[in-house]
């Protein structure tokens, strides 16, 4: 598979790590006083990871590494049109993302892979919920809805709020998943050619 392979998985994991650990300015600074001639100083930059729990970070990095696990090199639209068994199983909705999430969890349950066995039941339930939410957020059919929600909330986003952290993490994994335009042109072109080749290869299988 040209694009959705283990190199892509490592790239998305690296992207999520960078975006959570690189210091950034808050989305909104302190309000300017009408009596002040100068704007207030900006708060210091801090990594988003400083606002996330260890469990949330572990879930995000796990989702990043596994978000395209067992990818067949076909799009959701192709699988639905071909009436593939995965499309039938998941009722044509986020077919690949549901498949990646289910197969990833099945893989994680194998004793030799189960690095979360020390979590208690509440932590395991929370971890699973977050991993599924993050993986399902990579469905590009949800792209504009997630972007719209983020834009609506960005001016008042508070990372002490659990739902706001979840939304931010969804944005992070989405940015990491489609990050090739941020790379040097030569590398970006390689990834673009890879995904195009993957798309072209669908034609002979329809």
- Contacts of 121 by beta carbon, 8 Å cutoff, 6+ apart: none
Whole-number Å distance between alpha carbons of 135 and 169: 11
Distance CA 153, CA 137 (A): 17
DSSP output for 100-116? HHHHHHHHHTSTTT-TT
Kindly provide the b/e burial profile for residues 71-83, where b requires at least 16 CB atoms within 10 angstroms of the residue's own CB.
Answer: bebbebebbbeee
Whether 67 has a binding-site annotation, put simply, is yes
Whether residue 120 is annotated as binding a ligand: the answer is no
Catalytic annotation, pick one of 4, 71, 99, 100: 4
Query: Does residue 99 carry a catalytic annotation?
Result: no
Q: How far is CA 79 from CA 42, 75, 136, 204, in A?
A: 49, 6, 17, 14
Q: Is 84 annotated as a binding residue?
A: no
* Residues with Cβ within 8 Å of residue 92, at least 6 apart in sequence: 80
Q: What are residue 46's DSSP bridge partners?
A: 24
Pick from 98, 79, 86, 112: nearest CA to 202: 79
- The binding site for Zn(2+) comprises 67-68, 177
Q: Active-site positions?
A: 4
Binding site per annotation, positions: 67-68, 177
């Amino acid at each position: 598979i040209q694009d959705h392979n283990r190199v892509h998985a490592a790239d998305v994991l690296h992207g999520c790590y960078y975006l959570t650990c690189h210091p950034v300015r808050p989305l909104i600074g302190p309000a300017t006083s009408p009596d002040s001639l100068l704007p207030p100083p900006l708060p210091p930059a801090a990594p988003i990871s400083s606002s996330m729990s260890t469990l949330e970070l572990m879930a995000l990095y796990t989702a990043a590494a596994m978000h395209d696990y067992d990818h067949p090199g076909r799009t959701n639209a192709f699988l639905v049109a071909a009436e593939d068994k995965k499309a039938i199983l998941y009722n044509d909705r986020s077919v690949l993302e549901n498949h990646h999430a289910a197969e990833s969890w099945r893989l994680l349950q194998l004793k030799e892979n189960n690095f979360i066995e020390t979590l208690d039941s509440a932590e395991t339930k929370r971890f699973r919920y977050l991993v599924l939410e993050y993986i399902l957020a990579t469905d590009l059919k949800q792209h504009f809805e997630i972007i719209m929600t983020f834009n609506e909330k960005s001016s008042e986003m508070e990372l002490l709020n659990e739902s706001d952290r979840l939304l931010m993490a969804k944005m992070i994994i989405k940015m990491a998943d489609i990050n090739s335009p941020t790379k040097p042109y030569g590398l970006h072109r390689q990834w673009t050619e890879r995904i195009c080749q993957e798309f072209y290869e669908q034609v002979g299988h329809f």
